[in-house]
Structure 1
């Protein structure tokens, strides 16, 4: 049995041509938004006291790609986090503007800002987040649990076939990992390996005594979808056996609603705090000319989450466009 959702008065798509969306509600009452821009050349932030207000909020460019070197191309999937009184942006960037060579040459980087409002102040580059391999890596997120800060990301293990797996590590500080780096998930089911063998774009939701970690799988066209890992809140999160993996996607294309390739999600809450909300991107059409990565029409969308009787989230299906 599923607990029915209340309706939310948010138009879909919320923001057009913004993929890999991240919406975070801060203690100052503002919602902060960032995402990949179609040009993959900069990081933007916007804020509003309402989620719907983000659609019209001015976008402030807080950082631009370098002209050359390790942060000069394909700026992907920024996330904004507040940690110990400062702001941090985690993002992936490639080493070259030649996308044929640079497409899978990404590494993960961090920016820091001590201003009260992250749309102001100075963003300082804290450098690359170093992992145990120098290989394709992206889509970092971070969360705190019982006084420990964790980092979760996608990376190519040179010894494992496929494109990217999910890893977790403790953090020494917001830009440095410490201790073991453990693999939580590799693409193993058919729905995770269409086009590319991909686990990426992790997002964490802590509810009902458990930690739910969603992620995205397969190539970025209509087959892109969300999977989920689940751990008990009392378990050792650095033990891969603490996590169970759904054998089927938890959120996928809806032909009926004309929503294709939903994924790379984040989580936020409604203005009154009564609803958990799923933030994701999807296209409203299936046929794509050329590489799906360079089709700009992955739009930011939001919908409420239902909760099953057993305390697990039920994401339902992507709701149809309302504008």
Structure 2
């Protein structure tokens, strides 16, 4: 009987042990996957489409805009090298009461007097073509809030064809620069400047700063100076502009230089460089490089240019133009050295701080 009792209890113990082992199986730890190496480079183009690229930084955020043709879109990113994955927001379309516009071009986003402003060009289906318009937003983040139409911006009494508005601040005053016509129904595009009394109002007179006069500015039809952009460093102010028609592969960048304390309304304040400062690179698949913007790296140690170019010859003014960016340096005389458009697909170091 003692033997049977021992066997009985031994059997119970064995069953309990097996039951316990089924309900609580041993767990093999999952190995931690190796950390992916940090990518330190990027390649152009930043996006497959993006004519007339513009970038502005506010705090640790970059805001990007370009021509879409039919609306205004802002991309928001902490890293310019990752623009392709940035959040994209349509912030405005022209389908509003009393607004009838087509061919919306070259938007620029500026933070002025504590508010955001977008300057864009559009054809209002009247008045011999394009004009420059202004939108205002009091939100801290331009991808949120409400954009209020402030109407056309033009010199009083000179409501002429105009595109590519940008803003210069100098000597405590603010100025609008743009590409426009000398008179109604003219064809040649010239760079003009006028003083601003507020972000949506000009006071006269306008002053012509540049017209197509060199052979490299007169390729294609019509002759063109457009896309003026401001660049400042030390005691100098630069206007970098696009020349020749966008339909040609020879669309290129030109340069105007003035003292940072000069009166920008005086033509004598400006010196025009007689040769282009940024031209096509056919071997690198960069045709018609131009209509650019500028920004600094996140740590503030590097200067970068963003511009559009076509990947093949003969593609003209359409949506084959893609945004590209590259670091640039400075010459001994204090002028910018943009170098040559970097070939598509070239691995470039990311902007410092990214």
Aligned partner of residue 256 in structure 1, secondary structure: helix
Q: Distance in 2 between matches of 1:213 and 1:50?
A: 26
Match of 1:3 in 2: none
Match of 1:252 in 2: 279
Cα offset for 1:322? Answer: 1.6
Cα offset for 1:161? Answer: 5.9
Between the two structures, name the one with larger relative contact order (CA 8 Å, sep ≥ 6): 1
Match of 1:318 in 2: 341
**Matched ranges for 1:89-128 at <5 A:** 89-96=118-125, 105-128=129-152
Give a deviation string over 1:110-164, Cα, whole Å, max 9, x none: 0000001000000000000022423221000002123111110111111896421
Aligned with residue 13 of structure 1, among 26, 29, 45:
45
Cα offset for 1:53? Answer: 2.4
Name whichever structure is richer in strand by fraction: 1
Q: Distance in 2 between matches of 1:284 and 1:242?
A: 37
| Larger Rg computed on CA atoms | 2
Q: Distance in 2 between matches of 1:308 and 1:283?
A: 27
Aligned residues: 304
User: How big is the alpha-carbon RMSD for the aligned residues of Structure 1 and Structure 2?
Assistant: 1.9
Task: Decide whether aligned partners of structure 1 residues 10 and 242 sit closer, same or farther in structure 2, where only a CA change above 3 A counts.
Answer: farther
Give a deviation string over 1:237-262, Cα, whole Å, max 9, x none: 11001100011111011122121000
Match of 2:9 in 1: none
Tell me the TM-score normalised to structure 2 length: 0.82
Match of 2:60 in 1: 29
Match of 1:285 in 2: 312
Q: Distance in 2 between matches of 1:207 and 1:287?
A: 36
Cα offset for 1:15? Answer: 1.6
Q: Distance in 2 between matches of 1:286 and 1:156?
A: 29
Tell me the TM-score normalised to structure 1 length: 0.89
Match of 2:288 in 1: 261
Q: Distance in 1 between matches of 2:313 and 2:239?
A: 27
